[in-house]
Structure 1
Amino acid sequence: MILVTGATGHLGAATIHFLLKKMPASQVAALVRDADKAAALTERGVTIRVGHYDDTASLDRAMQGVEKVLLIAGTDEENRVQQHKNVVDAAKKAGVPFIAYTSRTLKDRSTMANLLMEGHFQTEDYIIASGLTYALFRNVLYMDVIPQFVGASVFETGIHLPAGEGKVPFALRDEMGEAMANVLAADSSGSAIYNFTGSEGYSFADVAAVLTDLSGKRVKYTPAEPSVFETQLAGRGVPDVIVQRVIRFLTDIKNGQEDDVYPDLENLLGRKPASLREGLKGLYNLG
C-alpha cells in the first residue's frame, strides 16, 4: 500500500494518476482533509484516509497497513516543518519502512533570499535522521506557475520581473508526478535523492521569446528593479508579506539558485521532459 498525502492537490493528484497506471487501485491510498473533495479518487477505487498534518491521531490511523508514504510538502509555511515531522513520526511509529518527500532543487541553503525554503532542507534533515529508507524528490520550479509570475496581461504589457538573466530549467508538474510514481511503484532497495529539472535552463527573456513566437504578439522581457516591482505590486493591493515573498523568490532565480540541470527526470520518464516551447504551448493553449 502506498499512501499519498496532499492527494487532492495538483502534484498529489498527478502522482496518483500515474500510480494507477502501474498498480491496482487497492494498493493506493490518499490522505485528504475532506473526503467529499476526493470523490474522483473514490470513484477510481483509491482508499481514502481522512486526516491532516496537525492531527497526529489521524496520521496514526492513516499509516496502518502502509508500506510507502509520499509526503507532499505542506502549504502552511509557518508550521509545515512541524507538520512534516508529524508525518515522519507517524510513519516510523507505524513501522512504515519507506518515506518520500517533495523538496526543492535550490542550490545553496546558506545563501537563499527566500528563507521560507529553509523548511524543505530542515524536513530533509529530519527524514535522513529518522532511520527510514527515503526518497527525496527535489523539484525545480514548476513550468505551470509561469503564467502566475508573468501576469494575465503578458501579451499586452510584456514581462517585468526582478529576475535579471537568471535561468530555471522549468519542468511540468505532471511530469514530476509521473517520475515520482515510477519511483514509488518500483522495488526500493535503498535511499536516494532525485533532482527533477528540465533538460535546459531558461530565463524570462526566453519565456518572452517563446510566447512571442507562439502567439505572434511581441512579448518583451524587461528586468525590473526590486523597489519598482515592489511599488507596482503594492499599488495593485498585494499584501506586503506576499510582495516580499515574491521578490525573494525572484531574487533567488536572479542569483542562480535554480539554474542547475540534472538528468534524473529524463531518466525516470524515459524521454526528454517537455521543453519550454512545448510546455507554454499547452499552458496557454497556443498553436
Structure 2
Amino acid sequence: MTIAVTGATGQLGRRIVAQLLERVPASEVVAVVRDEAKAADLTAQGVQVRVADYTDVAALTDAFAGVEKVVLVSGNEIGQRAVQHGNVIEAARAAGVTFIAYTSVLHADGSPLLVAPEHVETEALLASSGLSYSLLRNGWYHENYAPSIDAARASGAVVTSAGDGRVASASRDDFAAAAAVVVTSDAPEQVYELSGDVAWTQSELAAAIGEVIGSDVSVLDVDAAKHREILSGAGLDEGSVFFVVTTDGHIAEGHLADAPGTLSALIGRPTTPLVDTLRTLA
C-alpha cells in the first residue's frame, strides 16, 4: 500500500507524514511538495518525494503514480482552494487512486465559519468523484492562538469578542495522528467530526497563557466594533481583522464548542491539553 500526502512540508502535512512513518515503511509514503529542497529530511528518511503544485493537474497525476491512497491536506490560498482541491481529485482519479482522506472543517455542512464554504465545495467534489473517501472535519488548532501569547506578553490581556463561547481545540499533532489512523485503516468511516476533549473559555485561555509566560493575563471582553478598533489600531490588515472578529462571533454562538470525543477515541489517547501546546509555542 502506497500513501501520498499533499502539502507534505506544511504545518499539518509534515506532521501527517511523521505519523505515517510510525505505522508503515517509509518506502510506502509519498510526500507531494512544491519545493523539493524543503523535503530533504524526508528524502533522507526514505520517503518518496515528488514535486507537484495544486494548480498543476499533470504534475499531480504523475506524483500519484502507483499511489493507492491520498491524504489531501487542504490548501491555504483562501478563495482558490476549491479549484485546487478539485485538481487533486481529478489527478487522483486519473492516476488510479482508490481512496482520499480530506482535511475539512468541523461540521462543515452546517457551519457559518468563513473557511467552511470551500470545504463544502470540496466535499461535494469528493462525493461526485466515484472515489472512496473520508472527511476529516478538523476543529480549531491550539496553534491558532500563538499570536495571543505575544499579544498577552505585550498587553497583559487576551482581547476577545467571543464572550462566554467555548473552543474545543486540539493540537496539529492530534489531528495528524487521526489522519494517519484513518488512511491506514481497512474500513474507515466516511465522516469524522474531530475536536479536542475539552472546550475552553477565553478566561481559561488567558489562564493557560499566563501559566506559560509566568505572569497574570486578564481577559478584555469587548463588543465586535471595539474589537475591530483595537485590532486595527494594533496594525492588523482589514482582512485579518474581519476574520478574527467574525470568528469570535461564531465562537460566541457555539460553533467551535462541540467535543464529542471522536478524535481521542480515534487516536487512542486523550487530546493534547491547550496549555501543553501553548508552552511549546512560548
Of stretches 57-66 and 261-270 in structure 1, the one that deviates more from structure 2 is: 261-270
1:136 is aligned to 2:138: no
108 and 222 in structure 1: CA distance in 2 versus 1, 3 angstrom threshold: farther
> Does the CA contact (< 8 Å) of 1:143 and 1:170 recur in 2?
yes
- Would the aligned equivalents of 1:107 and 1:258 in 2 still touch at CA under 8 Å? no
Q: How does 1:82-161 map to 2 (within 5 A)?
A: 82-106=83-107, 109=110, 112=112, 114-148=113-147, 150-155=148-153, 156-161=155-160
**1:163 corresponds to which residue?**
162
Letter in 1 for 2:161: P
Q: Secondary structure at the match of 2:150?
A: coil
Whether 1:269 aligns to 2:258 is no
Percent identity (aligned): 36
What is the letter of the counterpart of residue 203 of structure 1? T
Q: CA offsets, 1:98-132, max 9 Å, x none?
A: 0010011146636x1x4342111111121122121
Unaligned runs of 5+ in 2: none
1:109-156 superposed Cα distances (whole Å, 9 cap, x missing partner):
36x1x43421111111211221211111111100112122x2513144
**Post-superposition shift, 1:277?**
3.2
Per-residue CA deviation, residues 175-221 of structure 1 (Å, 9 max, x unaligned), is 1111211221222x354211221111101111112333455522111
Over the aligned positions, Cα root-mean-square deviation in angstroms equals: 1.7
Aligned residues of 2:109 and 2:120 also touching (Cα < 8 A): no
Do the aligned residues in 2 keep the contact of 1:104 with 1:120 (CA within 8 Å)? yes
1:181 is aligned to 180
2:278 is aligned with 1:280: yes
Moved more, 204-213 or 43-52: 204-213
Aligned mates of 1:26, 1:210 — CA distance in 2: 41
- SS of the residue 1:153 aligns to: helix
The match for 1:26 is 27
Q: Distance in 1 between matches of 2:142 and 2:80?
A: 26
1:279 CA displacement: 3.2
Partners of 1:163 and 1:254 within 8 A in 2? yes
Residue of structure 1 in register with 2:80 after alignment: 79
Secondary structure class of the residue paired with 1:136: strand
- In the alignment, is the contact (CA less than 8 A) between 2:114 and 2:247 conserved in 1? no
**1:71-121: CA deviations, max 9, x gaps?**
0001111111011011111111222110010011146636x1x43421111
* Residue in 2 that maps onto 1:258: 256
Q: Does the alignment pair 1:35 with 2:33?
A: no
In 2 relative to 1, CA 190–154 (structure 1 residues): closer, same or farther, beyond 3 Å? closer
What's the secondary structure of 1:152's corresponding residue? helix
Residue 97 of structure 2 aligns with an amino acid whose one-letter code is V
Give the match for residue 226 of structure 2. 228
SS in 1 for 2:216: coil
TM-score (norm 2): 0.93
Task: Give SS of 1:115's match.
Answer: coil
Q: Which runs of 5+ in 1 are unaligned?
A: none
Measured in 1, the distance between the counterparts of 2:78 and 2:20 equals 28
Greater shift, 251-260 or 275-284, is seen at 275-284
TM-score by length of 1: 0.92
Cα separation, partners in 2 of 1:277 and 1:36, compared to 1, 3 Å? closer
The amino acid across from 2:10 in the alignment is G
